[in-house]
Amino acid sequence: MTDTNQTEQIQEQNKLIAERRNKLQQLRDGCSANGHPNDFRREDLSSALKDKHGDKDKDTLAAEGIRVSVAGRVMRRGGPFVGIQDAEGDIQFYMAKPLQKESEAWQLLDIGDIVGGTGTLQKSGKGELYVAIEELADFRILTKSLRPLPDKFHGLADQELKYRQRYVDLIINEDTRRTFMVRSKIIETMRYYLSQRGFIEAETPMLQTIPGGASAKPFETHHNALGIDMFLRIAPELYLKRLVVGGFDKVFEINRNFRNEGLSTRHNPEFTMIEFYQAYATYHDLMDLTEDMLRTIAHTVLGTTTLQYGESEYDLSQPFQRMTMVEAVLKYNPEFDAQVFADPENHMEQLQAYAKQVGVKQSEAQKAWGAGKYITEIFEETAEHELDEPTFITEYPWEVSPLARRNDANPFVTDRFEFFVGGRELANGFSELNDAEDQAARFRKQVEEKDAGDDEAMHFDEDYVRALEFGLPPTAGQGIGIDRLVMLFTNTHTIKDVILFPHMKPEAE
């Protein structure tokens, strides 16, 4: 857009705003509510009226003389009809010409205004319900919209503007409204699913003195009253497991987490997860639970267990794939020597060469990497994006799983899984490490990595180790990324489209 065109658009918009402000002043002059009355009571919603009366023929409905009160935002007008949008759909008002000429509200009406009206429910020749206004006092402007809405056929053409002005996007874009209605239903169904199975919902601190529960760079802040630096939580894990120590055998939290990372189509620094923990269970139990829960959510929210995502279709009614991390690496790198991965700690040079070969980023932090870290980096570089079908990847190396229980048969790996769909990780779970001494040693290893330059490595949490010393029963835990799950269920390909107010750079002047 040229500067000239942009200037002309701004001038035209300012002109329209000035005209609407003038109309608002006329409304103020004509009432005692300063142009914003608050005594109208909506009694009916469009969807309920359509469900109850939509099948009635025109004459039957007219004979019944049903009086209704509806309210909403004006989205269209033509002749004697004004179409409004409420929280659940749309409906029309009708006002005959003689009454229109007397109605100040009708004369001052603009697209975007919020109106309320009471009248008789009727049906047009096209079979559409409308509310017939018969008295001047029965139709009112409740809120004057001072800014014109974008063209309803084109919406917000500027994608960035959609995120900055989500309120406008929600007004004019039905797909956006549907996405966030689906999001709400997913969370509601997930909460119900766990509650019905005996899980207790808890709330844990968002301000923490030690950031823990995940490997990520935290946001830092300062507590003035206590005089200490604190961190926004990166995960609630260590607090939820403290609750299991305390006797809450099944516990979950739907939480906001904060990680000081980059922005991308899959990452937002502030995001929503659900984490849940179950005593006397293993990571196998949670893989089974995850399959059943996702099928239940899909059936409840979408009415089907078949999901369309881009060009892929996923049938959640079928068993999900399961393979180990090493199996995945060898599947997508058939040229690699399997013997290297069968005995990785004695083949460090080959692992380092493979990592370099496939493009793993080289850094100073590599000095502290062991075989498990190299295998994980190779997996993430070469295999992760290939996992299109719903897949559990299991047996993560202990080195990259500081909170997971070692596998009894192979202590090099842990009883851990991550769940992938469409090449994206949606969930992470494991049998919890409840050996206090092993946990302390792993924290020390994380501290070494942090000292070597890894700013995502964990801190040493002495109080959590103390909690384990009181005894954590055999437990399995899991976290699921709500934002990415909503992306899957709504066929959405950028995380900003499923977060109501995603983080943006400050708006330019």
CB 115 within 8 A of CB 82: yes
Sequence-separated (6 or more) residues with CB below 8 Å from residue 8? none
CA distance 326 to 431: 19
Question: Smallest Cα–Cα separation from 179: which of 481, 421, 503, 489?
Answer: 489
324 class by beta-carbon count within 10 Å (0-12 exposed, 13-18 middle, 19+ buried) = middle
CA triple 391-394-395, angle to 5 deg:
165
Question: Smallest Cα–Cα separation from 290: which of 276, 303, 310?
Answer: 276
SS3 374: helix
Which backbone phi and psi does 157 adopt, to 5 degrees? -70, -30
Sequence-separated (6 or more) residues with CB below 8 Å from residue 256? 206, 270, 271, 272
SS3 357: helix
Q: How many secondary structure helices (H) and strands (E) does the chain include? A: 17, 19
Long-range CB pairs of 202-206 (<8 Å, 24+ gap) are: 202/240, 202/243, 202/248, 202/251, 202/252, 202/253, 203/253, 204/233, 204/236, 204/239, 204/240, 204/243, 204/253, 204/255, 205/233, 205/239, 206/232, 206/233, 206/255, 206/256, 206/258
Q: Is 418 annotated as a binding residue?
A: yes
Q: In whole angstroms, how far apart are CA 237 and each of 40, 172, 204, 243, 425? A: 48, 39, 9, 10, 18
SS3 163: helix
CB 286 within 8 A of CB 476: yes
Q: Is 425 annotated as a binding residue?
A: yes
CB 391 within 8 A of CB 322: yes
Helix axes 462-470, 436-451, angle to 10 degrees: 170
CA distance 71 to 142: 9
Question: Smallest Cα–Cα separation from 46: which of 93, 95, 88?
Answer: 88
What token pair was written down for 385?
């994006």
Annotated binding site: which residue ranges? 418, 425
Annotated binding site for Mg(2+): which residue ranges? 418, 425
